[in-house]
Amino acid sequence: MPAYIVKQPSGLFARFSTVVDDFTHGRLTEAEARKLFPVTLYEGQSYDPVQLAIADEPIYPLGFEERQEPQDGLRRWRYCCETVRAIHGEAGLRVSLAELEPDHVVP
């Protein structure tokens, strides 16, 4: 999956790209997120990426983000932040978060 949607601590949404391992869009309303990630059919089933973000469903089943606590609805967010930190370093994460969540403390 080259990109997915995550809920930010502010309640808005962000698009995370696995191509650049960073956030490419942020501070999206639910309507804006749905324009980027519309509901589609997959194997005859409805697939709603935004609803998966709202429900904080794991990005990768049995993946890293499932082991993180607490279960506060921000597992996907933390998973993406840890990916940015691992690839781009602490400074890269701070730059990304400053653009997405200006008042947010680095996790």
- What is this structure's pTM? 0.84
Span 48-62, mean pLDDT? Answer: 85
d(CA 16, CA 13): 10
pLDDT of residue 69: 58
pLDDT at 76 over 70: yes
Lowest pLDDT segment from 21-25, 35-39, 63-67: 63-67
Q: Tell me the average pLDDT of the chain.
A: 86
